[in-house]
């Protein structure tokens, strides 16, 4: 299979497989146990926390392991008044009880709107909502102006959370203006079902009550192999950041050029300012075609791509992200998301373009 759906998930990195193996097989002790096997597991958990903290230049006590992006988002936002952008993942969007901040047609959140909402919301009450704006969008690959959004949130005395699930591993992160940040392992080549929440100064209410794991904040026996996988994948991704991004930008430019050249009915979704885009996601609508029909055609030829309704697959609704950048239902449903890793090749893209040409001719 030629895989162009890396924003959905990706394969576990070979380095991760190797490093995690002993924690399935030999060092499988409970990290809370006080004999050698337990202590080995505890060391692995704490070393993993330090690895991630080093990458982010923060304290290990600010990193809390979770089951992934969804849980991290929930943990940061549960029980709070939330303002977020209209293009957030549902793990954030479903918390909304205060307000939704719209985006422009490029997919960039409106900072002016955020400012006026907070100015109104914080005027007569001591109770401060939290602002959540994603670092980069999972459907269209647009990077949001989160430093400016955080500055506005702080100006009005609000905390700032960012869902960095799609950004982590693709760019450097400065935590100085971020209060909470969500990350997921399976987007960067770690196992599924692992992630972390960064909480500045370790300040966050408890998520799960029970034992003393995660310093009493999230009870439950730690998933040691998964935690190790997250640290190894993070380490590999950040060590290779520059070279991976160079490869991804090259793939992106080749894919963009070839789609634009061969398919006049194709239009890029989101900004065409490449500095405001992730290097590994391109979303196109193909006017007059159904994204899901194209997806199925490509699948028959061994090519996996996402569609504009990836997050809603099964419910038939057009994507809220595409709707909020101004697309009609029909345009949203004509969208395909191409997302790739540094292991994809220009040959993969040639194959994709050739199959897509057939699809466009046959399905006309
Ligand atoms: N946030 C974003 C932006 C995502 O893309 C995803 C997954 O697609 C999530 C949150 C959820 O992460 P997880 O699958 O680890 O729960």
pLDDT digits (tens, 9 = 90+) for 141-156: 999 999 999 999 999 9
Q: What is the pTM of this model?
A: 0.97
Please check the confidence at residue 215 and state whether its pLDDT lies above 60. yes
The encoded tokens of residue 303 equal: 């090519």
How far apart are the C-alpha atoms of 42 and 66, rounded to whole Å?
A: 16
Question: For the residues 287-295, what does the mean pLDDT come to?
Answer: 96
Choose which residue among 68, 165, 183 to substitute to test ligand 1 binding: the one with the highest number of ligand atoms within 8 A of its C-beta.
165
How far apart are the C-alpha atoms of 84 and 278, rounded to whole Å?
A: 20
Which residue lies with its CA nearest to atom 9 of ligand 1?
69
Q: What angle do CA 185, 191, 195 make, to 5 degrees?
A: 30
CA of 286 to the centre of ligand 1 (A): 26
pLDDT digits (tens, 9 = 90+) for 7-45: 999 999 999 999 999 999 999 999 999 999 999 999 999
Is 311 tagged catalytic?
yes
Residue tagged active-site, from 58, 84, 158, 311: 311
pLDDT digits (tens, 9 = 90+) for 332-345: 999 999 999 999 99
Q: What is the mean pLDDT of the chain?
A: 95
Judge residue 34's burial from the number of C-beta atoms within 10 Å of its C-beta, 0-12 exposed, 13-18 middle, 19 or more buried: exposed
Band of pLDDT at residue 315, cut at 50, 70 and 90? low
In terms of Cα–Cα distance, which of 321, 268, 284 is closest to 107? 321
How far apart are the C-alpha atoms of 364 and 355, rounded to whole Å?
A: 14
Residues within 6 Å of ligand 1 by CB:
68-70, 73, 89, 91, 134, 138, 163, 165-166, 184, 195
Which residue lies with its CA nearest to atom 5 of ligand 1?
138
pLDDT digits (tens, 9 = 90+) for 83-107: 999 999 999 999 887 889 999 999 9
C-beta of residue 340 within 8 angstroms of C-beta of residue 1? no
Band of pLDDT at residue 310, cut at 50, 70 and 90? very low
Question: For the residues 259-276, what does the mean pLDDT come to?
Answer: 97
């Amino acid at each position: 299979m030629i895989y162009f759906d890396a924003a959905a998930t990706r394969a576990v990195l070979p380095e991760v497989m190797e490093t995690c193996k002993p924690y399935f097989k030999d060092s499988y002790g409970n990290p809370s146990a006080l004999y050698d096997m337990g202590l080995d597991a505890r060391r692995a958990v704490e070393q993993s926390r330090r690895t991630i903290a080093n990458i982010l230049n923060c304290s290990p006590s600010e990193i809390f392991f979770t089951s992934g992006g969804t849980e991290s988002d929930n943990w940061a936002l549960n029980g709070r008044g939330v303002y977020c952008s209209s293009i957030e993942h549902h793990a954030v969007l479903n918390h909304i009880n205060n307000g939704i901040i719209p985006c422009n047609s490029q997919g960039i959140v409106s900072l002016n709107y955020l400012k006026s909402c907070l100015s109104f919301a914080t005027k007569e009450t001591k109770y401060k909502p939290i602002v959540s704006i994603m670092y980069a969008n999972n459907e269209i690959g647009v990077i949001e102006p989160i430093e400016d959004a955080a500055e506005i949130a702080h100006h009005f005395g609000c905390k700032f959370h960012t869902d960095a699930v799609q950004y982590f591993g693709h760019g450097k992160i400065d935590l100085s203006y971020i209060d909470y940040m969500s990350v997921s392992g399976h987007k960067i080549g770690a196992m599924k079902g692992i992630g972390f929440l960064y909480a500045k100064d370790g300040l966050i209410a408890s998520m799960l009550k029970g034992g003393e794991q995660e310093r009493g904040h999230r009870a439950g026996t730690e998933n040691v192999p998964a935690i190790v996988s997250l640290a190894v994948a993070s380490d590999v991704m950040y060590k290779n950041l520059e070279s991976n991004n160079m490869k991804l930008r090259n793939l992106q430019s080749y894919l963009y050029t070839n789609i634009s050249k061969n398919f006049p009915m194709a239009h890029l979704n989101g900004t065409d300012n490449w500095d405001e885009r992730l290097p590994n996601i391109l979303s196109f609508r193909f006017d007059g075609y159904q994204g899901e029909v194209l997806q199925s055609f490509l699948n028959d030829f061994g090519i996996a791509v996402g569609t504009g309704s990836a997050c809603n697959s099964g419910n038939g609704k057009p994507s809220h992200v595409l709707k909020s950048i101004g697309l009609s239902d029909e345009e949203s449903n004509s969208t395909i998301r191409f997302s790739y890793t540094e292991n994809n090749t220009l040959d993969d893209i040639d194959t994709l373009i050739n199959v897509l040409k057939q699809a466009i001719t046959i399905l006309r």
